Structure 1
Amino acid sequence: MSSRSPRGDPESRRVRVEEMRRADRTHERRRKITIGVVSAVIVAAGGVGIGYLVSASDSSEQRQATAISGGKTWQGLSRNHVTTDVSYPMPPPVGGDHHPVWQNCEGDVYDEPVSDENAVHALEHGAVWVTYTDKARAADVKALADRVAKTPYTLMSPYPGQASPTTLSAWGHQLSVNDASDARIAQFLERYVQGPQTPEPGAPCGGGKSS
């Protein structure tokens, strides 16, 4: 009488095959789940990164595009070096032809008016020029002088011919204010001291004209 091994029993083979199929299906499901989870993490991470970059870029562009309230802008200003007087269309000037020597702008505060042509060269180097008339309050003049003295790439001087008590000028940009407490002063300095408008970024502010 012969006996069959369980492996030879047709029923046993069917059961074993079914078990193998179930195992294969389970393994496949786990593999797909793992791939799905990993892919989701990668996509999510990539999406966050891309979203951050886009948001950061958008924010930067918005900051650049957002004008300071009340500010004026000029474009296409010439940049020739000249040794003659220049007739500028706006007082104080914000750009144009200028003297080969720049006005020192390392936080320099001048008690007397300075040459337009030298000051414009300082603007070309990325300086902000703070000017004022006798209509500006003495306390405001002192507060602005203290701020300028602590800020590289700035200069300050009287400017009798301007319309407002205080004016801030950068290359191609200008802002008029009535008093030193105006929050736009800090905005202007932050944006335009060595700002993106600078034709010659990194050029020196010392070693020029000192009076």
Structure 2
Amino acid sequence: MKRRWLGTVVSAVVTVLSVATMSSLGVGVLLGLTDDTAALSCDRVPGTPQPFEGERHIPYEGAPHEPYRTMPPTSGPHSPRVVVPGIYRDPVPAELQVHVLEHGHVLVQYAPDVPAADVDALERLGRRHPRDVVVAPYPALGQGIGLTGWQRLHRLDRLDERAVEEFVTKVAGRYDHGWQDGATDCVSS
């Protein structure tokens, strides 16, 4: 008898909590209180918006295609292969970079002149965002650090950890095979 009564009380408490939770979520949705996934307005996104250069796959890496208009590239023809977010010790080819961006990730790349301590700091930042960031050297930069997202570019002459963190958190996920949660390219809008 005592066990049956305890089971009834537990069931009632779970039911009341479930209804209360679902009701509060429903009210939050109706009032727009849970809409924290809405995209930032263009003026709040770090970096410079870049024109759309296409999104077609090339048949293989090294296949001829029109040149990219930005350094590093921010959209355009790209490899059908993709690299996963992480820390890379070798440069990522431009055609793979663009495919990484098409999946909503951010690239944090550095030129040969970036001090080893700054590279370590960039790699630590990349490890804090393991699903969003590719960190790699990119000698073609010539100098400094290049931050790229789909149609977004920010160049830094030297390490500014706060600027890199802000770029990663505000740009990653804005685009993933299409603009997400109301984000736009910020060029045509």
| 8 Å CA contact 2:144, 2:157 repeated in 1 | yes
Q: What residue number does 1:172 align with?
A: 151
Q: Which portions of structure 1, spanning 4 or more consecutive aligned residues, are displaced by more than 6 angstroms? A: none
Aligned with residue 79 of structure 1, among 55, 70, 95: 55
Larger radius of gyration: 1
Question: C-alpha distance in 1, partners of 2:83/2:169?
Answer: 21
Shift of 1:68: 4.6
Aligned with residue 124 of structure 2, among 118, 142, 146: 146
Question: C-alpha distance in 1, partners of 2:113/2:132?
Answer: 25
Q: State whether structure 2 residue 77 is matched by structure 1 residue 97.
A: yes
Aligned 1:22-101 pairs, distance under 5 A: 63-68=40-45, 71-82=47-58, 83=60, 84-86=63-65, 87-101=67-81
Q: State whether structure 2 residue 162 is matched by structure 1 residue 183.
A: yes
Question: 5+ unaligned residues in a row in structure 2: which ranges?
Answer: 1-30, 181-189
More helix by share: 1
Q: What residue number does 1:125 align with?
A: 103
RMSD: 2.7
Shift of 1:178: 2.8
| 8 Å CA contact 1:133, 1:159 repeated in 2 | yes
Q: 1:66 to 1:163 in 2, by over 3 A?
A: farther
Write the deviation string for residues 80-116 of structure 1: whole angstroms up to 9, x where unpaired: 11021442121211110101111222xx111111111
Shift of 1:146: 1.1
Report percent identity of matched pairs: 23
Write the deviation string for residues 105-130 of structure 1: whole angstroms up to 9, x where unpaired: 2xx11111111111210100001011
Specify the code of the residue in structure 2 equivalent to 1:92: P
Q: Which has the higher contact order (CA 8 A, sep 6+)?
A: 2
Paired residues in the alignment total 144
Write the deviation string for residues 39-58 of structure 1: whole angstroms up to 9, x where unpaired: xxxxxxxxxxxxx96xx99x
Question: C-alpha distance in 2, partners of 1:124/1:85?
Answer: 20
Write the deviation string for residues 31-81 of structure 1: whole angstroms up to 9, x where unpaired: xxxxxxxxxxxxxxxxxxxxx96xx99xx67x4121456x22113331111
Question: C-alpha distance in 2, partners of 1:147/1:186?
Answer: 7
Question: 5+ unaligned residues in a row in structure 1: which ranges?
Answer: 1-51, 203-211
Write the deviation string for residues 163-206 of structure 1: whole angstroms up to 9, x where unpaired: 541111001001111333342211111111112x333589xxxx
Specify the code of the residue in structure 2 equivalent to 1:66: D
